[in-house]
Structure 1
Amino acid sequence: MGGDNVSRIRGFCLLALAVALLAGGCATTDDREELKRLQARAAYERGLANLRDKQSALGVAALREAISLDPGVPLYWNALGLVYLEMRRPDLALVGFRSATDLDDNYAEAFMNTGIALAEMGRWEEAVGAYRKALASPTLAVAHIAYQNLGLALYHLKRYAEAEEALRFAIGLEPKMEGAYYNLGLVLVAQGRREDAKRAFRHARDLAPHSPFGEAAVGQLKALGDGG
């Protein structure tokens, strides 16, 4: 009987030791994962610093490092996409933005950026869908920009009534957005509403006379016989 007790005690001790070792192994794995997350965040921050210093190649490398360490963070993919947009590579940007939205179906900013990348490639119908997805989210902080971009995409699709509605909504949200007035002018010209178009172009010119939109509005007004 005593031997049986010793055997049971020894067996219990071995089991306890095995559990302890397994627990220790899990903790070590968790520690490694946490370290990778911290390293990824550091790489992301370094990438942003590189981009602020206009070092695009280093910024891309750092963001790719962050993604390789922690690929499940949508923020990193979206940031990489934005860099590629700045580098005029919408095709590569689109991969980043779509990776971000695949990870987070409620990532409104990434959906809006997806629309921008698609628009840069002239894929207007798809851009409309991406902008609408972004606008459906209550978390979108720049709805006025999304509505302006939506209006421009609809203009290119010759869906002028919808384009006008989107652009007027953008102006209602941000009355000092000269780009929305300029694009509205284009829509109105396309509809043959010359006087309404002139008013829109004047707004764009008066809001920001030295901006690209303001200067383009002057050209449009001259073409409409207004003199700018």
Structure 2
Amino acid sequence: MKCPECGIENNESQKYCGNCGGPLGGASISDLFEAAFKSEARGDLSGALEAYDRLLEKRPKSQEILFKMGMVCYDLGHLDDAIVKFRKVIEFNPRFIYAHFRLGLCLYHKCMIEEAIKSYSDALSTAPDFVPALLQLGIANFHIGRLEKAIGAFRKVSESSCSYTLAHYYLGLAYERMRRTDEAIQQFTLVSKENPKDPSTHYHLGILYKRKFMRDAAIGEFMRAHQLDPSDEATIEELSSLQQK
């Protein structure tokens, strides 16, 4: 019997292909799910998508199958297909928060920022404390310059029980852009305690201390940034400028 997945011939008595592990003959729902999971586990996303597609033929209104297909399409970079799948899930179940969230990620990567913001907001309307959606909502608003809204989202993340250091980093960026220097320093200092090896954090601290005319502190931060990333030209320029004064 020829495997429908890889085309290799197998014995008639075999239930699964000896080459790819795919189901042979009239595959059941459980067989197809197993084939999809095995394909994903070995990194064969195209094979997984084929198995899910066959599952969808059997269960065309299955939210689970549509969602999994959307996830695989997203991982393959097929964003348009993923968007179609996630929207179909939402059509069947408007309260499926992960579908709204994943749809938002797809739209954001398509530079459809307003649409992404709506998707994150839709997820949060059902689950207001869903931290991944809050973080991405903040990033999307930051992307288009809505700094107050971005700060509001990042604050909610930073005040939650989750240890999302990235929220503090983006808070620092937003405060820096708004010239709220002391608040920016506070956030970047928190980030540097969590990860002292991030050159970008030290660079921004250097810029902020320079803004406050704290020359020695600025040089110290730029030196740390330079040690961590010796090739960064912006850091070299800032350090050289301060050391010459």
Q: Report if TM-score (shorter chain) is over 0.5.
A: yes
- State whether structure 2 residue 173 is matched by structure 1 residue 156: no
Alignment of 1:69-148 (within 5 A): 69-138=92-161, 140-141=162-163, 143-148=164-169
* Equivalent of 2:236 in 189, 212, 218: 218
1:72 aligns to what SS in structure 2? coil
1:182 Cα deviation (Å)? 2.3
1:15-48 residue CA offsets vs partner (Å, 9 max, x unmatched):
xxxxxxxxxxxxxxxxxxxx79x82222222122
Indicate conservation of the 8 Å contact 1:111/1:130, yes or no: yes
- State whether structure 2 residue 65 is matched by structure 1 residue 47: no
1:159–1:50 CA distance, 2 compared to 1 (3 A):
same
**Root-mean-square deviation (Å):** 2.2
Question: Whose relative contact order is higher, 1 or 2, with alpha carbons under 8 Å and at least 6 apart?
Answer: 1
Q: Which has more radius of gyration?
A: 1
Q: How many residue pairs end up in the alignment?
A: 186
Match of 1:186?
A: 207
Counterpart of 1:189, as a letter, is K
Q: Which moved more, 1:188-197 or 1:154-163?
A: 188-197
Counterpart of 2:116, as a letter, is A
Indicate conservation of the 8 Å contact 1:178/1:205, yes or no: yes
Percent pairwise identity: 24
Unaligned 5+ runs, structure 2: 1-58
Indicate conservation of the 8 Å contact 1:205/1:215, yes or no: no
Higher helix content, 1 or 2: 1
Cα distance between partner residues in 2 of 1:207 and 1:179: 9
1:105 Cα deviation (Å)? 1.2
* Equivalent of 2:222 in 198, 201, 222: 201
Unaligned 5+ runs, structure 1: 1-34
1:73 Cα deviation (Å)? 1.8
1:223–1:93 CA distance, 2 compared to 1 (3 A):
farther
TM-score of the two chains, using structure 1 as the length reference: 0.73
